[in-house]
Structure 1
């Protein structure tokens, strides 16, 4: 019994009831003009439910009507902050608030408007009969029985009236709850997102995930490179015990740290969706600062560039910079200050980048590497290229090929 009465404490029970009644308002407005509501016949009641249908179908052709119905349904059919459900969480409505974008959407909107109309009319009739019966049983009806409009005649037995009145009140509550639940189910089917809207949402979520992965890779490459340089420089300065070398090491740590902070600030602005202009991402034309950082850490970098690097497409140049940064970080982290041979070649069709360094000891690595090397391969794949990492002819090699178109 308590479980049946619990919905009466929820605001959504009454907002759904009101929403259903409002759906039939146009029927009573039209009926007051034709066929009229003064002693209506059964044919008149049929016309009450049929006459407004063409008007509703015509209204459904207007795209913004679907948006208006979606907003109403979200607010009145489904609980939100104004109508908490057990557990304190808001129910997911599953209702779209986008205007009609296709004829399919317009047809679904028309069916929904007609459903609201007929459900509202039916609920008005059922509610009127049940409440009228209760009034008649309790003596609150001041009209003669032949004019009260009731389809059933109340019994005259006195002891039956009280329990029957209670049953009719409970039946009225059950009808309201059932009608509200049915309307919510139908709303999800008819006002829910169309296949095109679902696809757009999935594409947006995919783009967000890809952007998060890109940001995560950039933070890994930038911050990882800065920390690796700092660790290598600190270790070298402590081992050297040379004030001049220590000063150079601290200067390299400072420069690398400042660049990492700039990258971090830029990424945080993106995450905050700040409207302030964001500084451009580094490209391969800025590779000198990576080489200076690696050389300051003790690595002997031999670099050879052929072709117009400055003419590389933006995405290729930016991702190439991050790949080079991770390759040099990988050298310093796992091999230390060893000789590094860097070759960058650009032609009309592709960018080829090769980073080789001597291995300090034989290794059985398969070249699959950790997240940094995996990030290099993922970046290359996203650009339609390929990257290989691993031992090659006694050296460790990172080889990247990216198409320019």
Structure 2
């Protein structure tokens, strides 16, 4: 009842009336295929609607007709600008061709109902106003009844519109396969948003950590030359963070163009430079063809390296760091080490290290972090290709 009352707006009523009237045009076509005896008034249209049933059955058995009817029903039975409520109601009506015998059967029933209701609505739209005018011209007490046919017309239009809208949600409802596909698409979209949120946390967190450490080091150094280098590093880090933020926002916008490429292991030098700018003494060893690593693995490997270096800068400070990136055979190996000091326990409880393990596990690899021979070690083994 609440949905019915919400639909009683002038735009909805007029749009549904137009939808019904256009459906009755098929009945007109049947007059040229099965011409009957001459009639008078609205009986010709009503008879034509009944005679059109065989034609409607043939049309309903064409799979693409269900798509056309679903698009019309979405636009005309649920009119207006997009909104969460309106989008939810439109989603109850399919916009896909028939994919099963059940879909074809429901399409046939929909066409028959739409044309019959449309013919009835068009007949009432012509006959009831004419009756009201005739009553008004009588000039006696019967003229007081003139508004009744108009009220009857309103009742017919509103009632028929409500019936056809309810029927659309039943006869043109998405099939079980379509609902499962829509659910899978929504799940994938949510997973992508979660991945982007985690990626944004990693990249922006790394940038802010580097900026804070670099600014603190510049203040403590008391050297104009070092301060200039730190400001340059801060500017470069901030610019890359803004680019990363813009890239993620582009992906989140539905109407965005193709987003920019995400950083990969071949871009690891920027992470090493940022860590050096924060005061860490980074020694890097890269071996093997990084270009041959599959895109998803290379991108996630970049994030793992980024998170590991961020933990070093945040928890250990300006310490020696050894980074090894190796590609051998079908395996990518990342190894990041720094002196354990007093920061290992704090680093081990971070959310970022859980993210490292999750990234590796999703790719079919393995990652671990913890003390190792007096050092804090982050070690990840990833497949070079994903199947």
1:114 aligned to which of 112, 115, 126: 112
Judge conservation of contact 2:73–2:168 (CA < 8 Å) in 1. yes
Aligned partner of 1:150 in structure 2 is none
Deviation at 1:327, TM superposition (A): 0.7
Q: RMSD in angstroms over aligned alpha carbons?
A: 4.1
The answer to whether the 8 Å contact 1:380/1:401 transfers is yes
Cα drift, residue 333 of structure 1: 0.8
Match of 1:396 in 2: 376
> 1:110-163 CA distances to partner (integer Å, 9 max, x unpaired)?
221111123234556777887788788x4868xxxxxxxxxxxxxxxx98x688
Shift of 1:318: 1.9
Q: Of 196, 221, 224, which aligns to 1:240?
A: 221
Return the match for 2:170 from 177, 182, 189. 189
Preserved CA contact (<8 Å) 1:31 1:37: no
The equivalent residue for 1:92 is 89
Whether the 8 Å contact between 1:13 and 1:177 is mirrored in structure 2 is yes
SS of corresponding position for 2:280: coil
Between Structure 1 and Structure 2, whose CA radius of gyration is higher?
Answer: 1
1:255-404 mapped onto 2 (5 Å cutoff): 255-271=236-252, 275=257, 278=260, 280-361=261-342, 367-370=348-351, 372-391=352-371, 395-404=375-384
Unaligned runs of 5+ in 2: none
Q: Which residue of 1 aligns with 2:201?
A: 220
Does the aligned pair in 2 maintain the 1:359–1:395 contact within 8 Å?
Answer: yes
Paired residue secondary structure (1:34):
coil
Cα distance in structure 2, aligned partners of 1:277 and 1:358: 39
**Distance (Å, rounded) in 2 between the aligned partners of 1:29 and 1:286:** 67
CA deviation vs aligned residue, 1:345-394 (integer Å, no higher than 9, x gap): 43323223232333332765593422x33332332233222333445565
Structure-1 separation of matches of 2:224 and 2:189: 49
Q: After superposition, where does 1:152-163 map in structure 2 within 5 Å?
A: none
Unaligned runs of 5+ in 1: 142-157
Report the TM-score, using the length of structure 2 for normalisation: 0.78
Structure 2: distance between partners of 1:118 and 1:7 = 22
Q: TM-score, normalised by structure 1?
A: 0.75
Q: Which residue of 2 aligns with 1:68?
A: 68
> SS of the residue aligned with 2:332?
strand
